[in-house]
Amino acid sequence: MYLESAKKAEIFGQYGKSTTDTGSAESQIALFTYRIKHLTEHMKQNRKDHSTERALTGLVGKRRALLNYLKARDINRYRAIVKALGLRK
């Protein structure tokens, strides 16, 4: 499996408050970004994989919704996570 619990803990530790902070918007956005990057690489090799394309579109939508939520709640946290992950927008 491409996403092991150690990798998740590393992502949550880097972008969340702690390694067990799985619910904050920043940690969820970082996890979605990691999964999106992985699925994007898969789609480059398998362009006819429509089920993965649908999952990728869903993940991008979830991440966008969380980013919109964070932007409405705390613009400084939004700017920090966008800068840290190198996201456009």
**Each residue of 1-27: pLDDT tens digit?**
678 999 999 999 999 888 888 899 999
User: How many residues would you count in the chain?
Assistant: 89
Q: Model confidence over 21-72: pLDDT tens digits?
A: 889 999 999 999 999 999 999 999 999 999 999 999 999 999 999 999 999 9
**32 touches 67 (CB < 8 A):** no
| Domains of the chain with CATH codes | 24-85 (1.10.287.10)
Taking the C-alpha atoms of residue 64 and residue 56, their distance in angstroms, rounded to an integer, is 12
CA dist., res. 70 & res. 87, Å (int): 14
Could you tell me the pTM of the whole model?
0.91
Alpha-helical regions (H) of the chain? 5-15, 25-45, 50-73, 75-85
